[in-house]
Amino acid sequence: MSSTVPDLASLHALDPAQQPSYPDRSAVDSAVARLRTAPPLVFAGECDDLKGKIAAVARGEAFLLQGGDCAETFEGVTADNVRNKLRVLLQMAVVLTYAASVPVVKVGRIAGQYAKPRSSDFETRDGVTLPAYRGDAVNGFDFTPESRVPDPQRLVDVYNSSAATLNLVRAFVTGGYADLRQVHTWNTDFVRESAVGQQYEQMASEIERALTFMKAIGADPDEFHRVDFHSSHEALVLEYEHALTRIDSRTQTPYDVSAHFVWIGERTRQLDGAHVELLSHIKNPIGVKLGPSTTPDDALALAAKLNPDNEAGRLTFITRFGAGKIRDGLPPLIEKVTAEGVQVAWICDPMHGNTFEASSGYKTRRFGDVIEEVQGFFDVHRSLGTWPGGLHVELTGDDVTECVGGGEDLTDLDLAHRYESVCDPRLNRVQSLELAFLVADMLRQ
Ligand code: PEP
Ligand code: MN
């Protein structure tokens, strides 16, 4: 691994996909200069710890749970919002750990997930065409010409919002909120009333009894009182990720200190592209999204470029085929990657291959398709003797109505009630817990 990082100009010379077109380059330069002097959001040593945990996933000894918003917003940086997301992830993790008896590596799509790739550069509403919303990192969600102009100052706002979020997350996970004795209090009213909420209550009571027993015999390890939680986002805007790439003083090697884990999206994974180039130089654990057009040779070439030393834990393939394509599309990738001895953790994103527009006009996903893709992922891995290493989901801790189906049986008509995502539809709290119980069953089989 080289200890140098290509400069920003040479990355731009690779004609990177999905970048903002800033009207004023000098404003970009001053935002980047500000970011270059900002303190790291995460430490290199923390990234190494996560890499070690993902190595256990690659070996089949742990399960990775990665989840959060499709797109975080600056407005969403509130104590309630961050706590709610953390809470649903902690609940899911405890379900998976307890019901399936596997260690769960917890990673949030949080504290940096502000930039979005778009399939079209423009959006038209009522005959008016404006630049597409590319996430709060780039421009505003409001559908006005002013708001849609890319503003580089927003990159500094991403840094500040990420710092505030991470500060809160760190306080929650070490300051008592993530204590396993809180397992009951994580289940708040609206969830408790649902069938899955009751299933959770029962499990929480069993855990509580076990904890009381452990305490009575004098065992009260640190692990009961805190959890390890990690941040992640798509590394999309090169200015931001480059400015936060720093040489670690311990190892003299580069880390992207904007998050513990960063991934390359389906639209920016070109082998000779700028995103693959930049991420090939950092030492963090990284992911690549692989959609249905990926060939086995693409996967091998990405692994060779991004993980030339074949280090376990360095590279995660996040597959997002769609419920109808995974059973045929995934086996050739796994077979070739496995036959070549390539070390990788395989994670299932059952969201991005299953998006469609409802008759009401909302972008949505069917809960049944999400489950079907996860089941396909498990079945394929089981039949090939490989490890279904984890789940990558878009979810929220709130009672939103963005995905249809699930135990509450949300319909197209329900979508209008509480559709709050500024980008893709997320599982709500009940749907997320249902998914966790179903996946725990799959893991047990
Ligand atoms: C996402 O994760 O929000 C996303 C855009 O995914 P993909 O790159 O897989 O389309
Ligand atoms: Mn998304």
- ipTM metric: 0.99
Which has more confidence, 67 or 227? Answer: 67
Gap between the terminal Cα atoms of the chain: 40
Q: From the centroid of its chain, how far is CA 38?
A: 24
Ligand 2 center from residue 212 Cα (angstroms): 41
Per-residue model confidence as pLDDT tens digits over 398-440: 999 999 999 899 999 999 999 999 999 999 999 999 999 999 9
What atom of ligand 1 comes closest to residue 291's alpha carbon? 9
pTM of the model: 0.97
How many CA atoms lie within 13 Å of 302's alpha carbon, on the beta-carbon side?
A: 31
Q: Categorize the per-residue pLDDT at 185 as very low, low, confident or very high, splitting at 50, 70 and 90.
A: confident
- Calpha distance 307→286 (Å, rounded): 10
Most ligand 1 atoms within 8 A of CB, residue of 120, 267, 279, 317 to mutate:
267
Ligand 1 center from residue 183 Cα (angstroms): 31
What atom of ligand 1 comes closest to residue 289's alpha carbon? 9
- Calpha distance 166→177 (Å, rounded): 15
Ligand 2 center from residue 352 Cα (angstroms): 6
DSSP code for 324: T
In DSSP notation, 232-293 reads EEE---HHHHHHTEEE-TTTS-EEETT-SEEEE-GGG--TTSHHHHHHHH--S-EEEEE-TT
Specify the residue with its C-alpha closest to ligand 1, atom 1.
Answer: 70
- Stretch 23-39: mean pLDDT, rounded? 97
Between the CA atoms of 267, 271, 273 and 276, what dihedral angle is there, to the nearest 10 degrees? Answer: 90
Q: Categorize the per-residue pLDDT at 2 as very low, low, confident or very high, splitting at 50, 70 and 90.
A: low
- Calpha distance 180→306 (Å, rounded): 37
- pLDDT for residue 1: 47
Which has more confidence, 185 or 50? Answer: 50
What atom of ligand 1 comes closest to residue 113's alpha carbon? 3
Ligand 2 center from residue 250 Cα (angstroms): 35
Residues contacting ligand 1 via CB (< 6 Å): 70, 117, 234, 265-267, 289, 320, 352, 424
Return the ∠ at Cα 118 (arms to 398 and 374), rounded to 5°.
Answer: 55
